[in-house]
Amino acid sequence: MGRRRGARGPVGAVYAWVRGQSVKAKAAIGALTAILALGALWALIHDHNHFFVASEAVHAAGIFVLIYKLSSKKTCSGLSLKFQELTAIFLAVRFYCSIVIEKDIHTVLDLLTLLSTLWVIYMMRFKLNSSYTKELDNMPRYYLLIPSIVLAIFIHPFMYKHYGRFLWAFSVYLESLSVLPQLRLMQNAKMVEPFTAHYVFALGVARFLNSAHWIIKVVDTRGSFLTGSSSAVFWTPAVLLAELVQTLILADFCYYYIKSAMLGQLMRLPSLHGIRDV
């Protein structure tokens, strides 16, 4: 049956204390927790590339949870098809750029993630379409595509040739916004199905690890990394900002996910018209 709301213990006591704080105090506690986590990562991990690998590994774990749900539960309820399609777009663009520019382990990881995402889209569109809640998946794609295109036109790296610089920037900006349809669907539905919650939480952890890479790199170089080359004058700060936007977008969801896990309850999200405790 799981624990009741009034369940106590060390974890429950900590949660009860945090819940009793003001909104400003909660924000300060969250910021302090993030800083401590960044400090621990900085002390324990010396090769910054490991952050990217760890991020991809966590993302892959989330996708495996999603694949398990679709193949065993035979339902795609609670999933945003628009989010999956936007994910496929930025992954395809990034995979192409990776082939042209880098050809490293990230190329392989992007390909595997892209293939998995295309399989999810196929299942949602054709095999499990009857369980897809289209009326709740109501955020237009162009709300995210158009800003990503405009930003990519004006702010992009200069180290790549021709249209590759624009495509790479487009994939970065679209990735930072692509999860919004999924969050919108879950807010519309109010109740979040467990497997979907695990999947989105994994995305949040992956985004935090990516953001940690950039933040720690800036700290290690004492800020010079932001303006160290002509291509970085606007581009590098834009990448850092995009990573932070992704993390902040998912931070609220991760809070409610952890809250539900601590209380042993099915996850709920607050109304779109204001945040309140559930």
95-99, 114-118, 142-146: range with lowest mean pLDDT: 95-99
pLDDT value of residue 264: 65
Max avg pLDDT among 17-21, 35-39, 192-196, 266-270? 192-196
Distance (Å, whole) CA 144 – CA 16: 37
pLDDT of residue 11: 54
Which pLDDT value is given to residue 51?
74
| pLDDT band (50, 70, 90) for residue 18 | low
- pLDDT of 3 reads 46
Q: Determine the Cα–Cα distance for residues 4 and 98; give it in Å rounded to an integer.
A: 49
pLDDT of residue 30: 58
Residue tagged 């889209």 (tokens): 121
- Band (pLDDT 50/70/90 cuts) for residue 211 is confident
Task: Output the CA–CA distances (angstroms, integers) from residue 149 to 27, 45, 100, 167, 211, in the order listed.
Answer: 33, 35, 20, 9, 22
* Alpha-carbon distances of 30 from 147, 202, 235, 256, 262, rounded to whole Å: 29, 18, 28, 13, 16
Distance of CA 200 to the CA centre of its chain: 7
* Of the candidates 13, 150, 123, 19, the residue with the CA atom closest to the CA atom of residue 63: 123
Distances from the Cα of 6 to the Cαs of 2, 3, 12, 32, 119, in angstroms?
Answer: 12, 8, 8, 27, 42
Q: What is the mean pLDDT of residues 90-119?
A: 87
Q: Pick from 136, 122, 131, 137: which is nearest to 77 by CA?
A: 131
Whether pLDDT at 275 is above 60:
no
pLDDT reading at 123 higher than 70 = yes
SS3 content of the chain, % helix, strand, coil (to 5): 75, 0, 25
% of the chain surpassing 70 pLDDT: 71
- Greater pLDDT, 104 or 124: 124
- For the segment 34-68, what is each residue's pLDDT rounded down to a tens digit? 666 656 665 666 666 677 778 888 888 889 899 99
**Main-chain phi, psi angles of 276, to 5 degrees:** -145, 160
Mean pLDDT of 168-180: 93
pLDDT at position 104 over 60: yes
| pTM, to two decimals | 0.80
Domain ranges in the chain are 10-263
Tell me the average pLDDT across 133-141. 94
Tell me 71's DSSP state.
I
pLDDT, average across residues 205-233: 69
- Which of the listed ranges 27-41, 137-151, 216-230 does the model predict with the highest average pLDDT? 137-151
- Residue-averaged pLDDT of the chain: 79
Query: What is the distance of C-alpha 19 from the center of its chain?
Result: 25
What span, in angstroms and rounded, lies between the C-alpha atoms of 170 and 151?
7
Mean pLDDT of 92-96: 93
Q: What is the Cα–Cα distance from 96 to 101, expressed in whole angstroms? A: 9
Say if residue 181 is exposed, middle or buried (CB neighbours under 10 Å; 0-12, 13-18, 19+).
buried
- Indicate if the pLDDT at residue 14 is higher than 70: no
